[in-house]
Amino acid sequence: MNALRGLRTLALTAVAVASMPAGAQVYQSSIYASGLNNPRGLTFGSDGTLYIAEGGTYVAGLDVFQTGEGLATVGSTGAISRVLSGPGGAPGAQSQIVTGIGMVATPPAPPPMGGNSATGPQDVAFYGGDLYVLLGLGADPSTRTSLTAGLGGLYRVDGSSLTLIADVADFELSDNPGGGPVDSNPYHMAAGPDGLYVTDAGGNSLLRVDPVTGDVSTIAVFPELANPLSGTVGGPFVDAVPTGVAFAPNGDYYVGLLTGFPFNVGLADVFKNPTGDTPGAMAELFTNITDVAVDENGVLYVLQFADNGLLNGPFGSIQRVNGNGTLTEIYGGIVAATSLEVRQGAFYVTSRSNSGDGAGLVLRIAAVPEPATWAMMIVGFGLAGAAMRRRAMTIRFA
């Protein structure tokens, strides 16, 4: 019996070692949602339901609107989808809960970008138990027509309809916090302690919106960056273009920059608690950031749209910012990724977010055991099996 007890202890020890985190994790992706048109922002409800902002799809028509990406057609194919939480991290039923949301879309683009980009629902977030959706614009708000008047606004989702809370783009028109050419493109938002924090990628600003009163105020403005390629590609300065915003459990908030043309490699920054018109970067050398996220332990993750610069194709990655300031790539080769959420150790990211032909995806990226870990598990299970057989034999022949 002493030998049996020792064998059983060894088996349990092997299994315990197998479950310990390894020094370097291996990650694997799976499709969590599919059939999406220009999937953009993501957010989780308290019950684990995932909500997705769908920008919409291009529909050829006579009504056109001038955006920063060129002439776009006006439509109402924007939507909000949801995916119920399934067992063991698997997705449950997927459906659209709001449809017919206004948007504009450009015709299909040639490679390497491809797809047909749409601007409509850009992000979703919960605040005070209510779901909100942010609509992009990508133009001078004064050029909006009766057909595009709803773009650039923050809305509360009331069942299958939307209620306007604040015209974010109109704030850029009236206040122009950045002081440059009037342009607004509300991009991402995050729930803070005193309202929803919204990045205006066109106005180069971080704004706060009070969901109760609809009041909009400026938190930070992001100045232009010196262009290291000046004289070769582009002018002397590059627009900041703030995109991702996220809150940490301790109340700190982070903002990431996409940066404008020529979309330089290594020029994008992440800012911690930025305020005023001269915020200081806390992490540098990123490339074309489209979102940031913080896990329950306060670890910061950065989503890059294009690791080699946007002009070289939309192939990006998830980067972890380590405590010593170094970066660890979590997962690479993601196509046209614009939104990142971290939940229970897994990463959820939009892919093919420039596709309006139903090719858009949400990927779930989670750690898997390394080969050595699998070997330890097999050994552990084998020892456990041997112990069980020995126990059975002892009972049978005692």
- Domains of the chain (ranges; CATH) run 38-357 (2.120.10.30)
Look at residues 361, 389, 392, 388 and name the one whose alpha carbon lies nearest to residue 35. 361
Task: Assign 21 a pLDDT band (cuts: 50, 70, 90).
Answer: very low
For the stretch 114-145, pLDDT in tens is 667 899 999 999 999 999 999 999 999 999 99
Cβ neighbours, 10 Å, residue 237: 13
For the stretch 161-182, pLDDT in tens is 999 999 999 999 999 999 999 9
Question: Does the pLDDT at position 9 exceed 50?
Answer: no
Task: Assign 358 a pLDDT band (cuts: 50, 70, 90).
Answer: very high
Cβ neighbours, 10 Å, residue 99: 14
Task: Assign 7 a pLDDT band (cuts: 50, 70, 90).
Answer: very low
In the predicted model, what is the mean pLDDT of residues 44-67? 89
pLDDT at 59: 83
- By the 8 A CB rule, do 341 and 43 touch? yes
Task: Return the ∠ at Cα 229 (arms to 256 and 263), rounded to 5°.
Answer: 35
pLDDT at 111: 65
Question: Does the pLDDT at position 384 exceed 60?
Answer: no
The phi and psi torsions of 13 (rounded to 5 degrees) equal -65, -40
pLDDT at 277: 87
- What is the distance, to the nearest Å, from the Cα of residue 240 to the centroid of all Cα atoms in its chain? 18
Mean pLDDT for all residues in the chain: 87
Cβ neighbours, 10 Å, residue 173: 17
Burial category of 126 from C-beta neighbours within 10 Å (exposed 0-12, middle 13-18, buried 19 and up): middle
Question: What predicted TM-score, i.e. pTM, was given to this entire model?
Answer: 0.86
Provide, rounded to the nearest whole percent, the portion of the chain with pLDDT above 90: 73
H or E element: which one contains 350?
strand 346-351
H or E element: which one contains 209?
strand 205-209
In the predicted model, what is the mean pLDDT of residues 104-114? 73
Long-range contacts of 94-99 (CB under 8 A, 24+ apart): 94/33, 94/34, 94/35, 96/54, 97/157, 97/160, 98/133, 98/157, 98/160, 98/161, 98/162, 99/160
DSSP letter (8 states) at residue 314? S
One-letter amino acid at 153 equals: G
For the stretch 216-227, pLDDT in tens is 999 999 999 999
Angle between helices 2-19 and 371-397 (to 10 degrees): 160
- By the 8 A CB rule, do 264 and 312 touch? no
SS3 162: strand
- By the 8 A CB rule, do 102 and 65 touch? no
SS3 114: coil
Look at residues 225, 97, 102 and name the one whose alpha carbon lies nearest to residue 157. 97
Distance between CA 158 and CA 150 in Å, rounded?
Answer: 16
Distances in Å between the Cα of 49 and the Cα atoms of 32, 95, 156, 379, 383 are 12, 11, 18, 38, 40
For the stretch 311-321, pLDDT in tens is 999 999 999 99
Question: Does the pLDDT at position 324 exceed 80?
Answer: yes
Look at residues 110, 60, 57 and name the one whose alpha carbon lies nearest to residue 79. 57
The first and second tokens of residue 48, run together, are 């684990």
Q: Which residues pair with 28 in a beta bridge?
A: 366
Q: Which residues pair with 30 in a beta bridge?
A: 364
The first and second tokens of residue 136, run together, are 């992009």
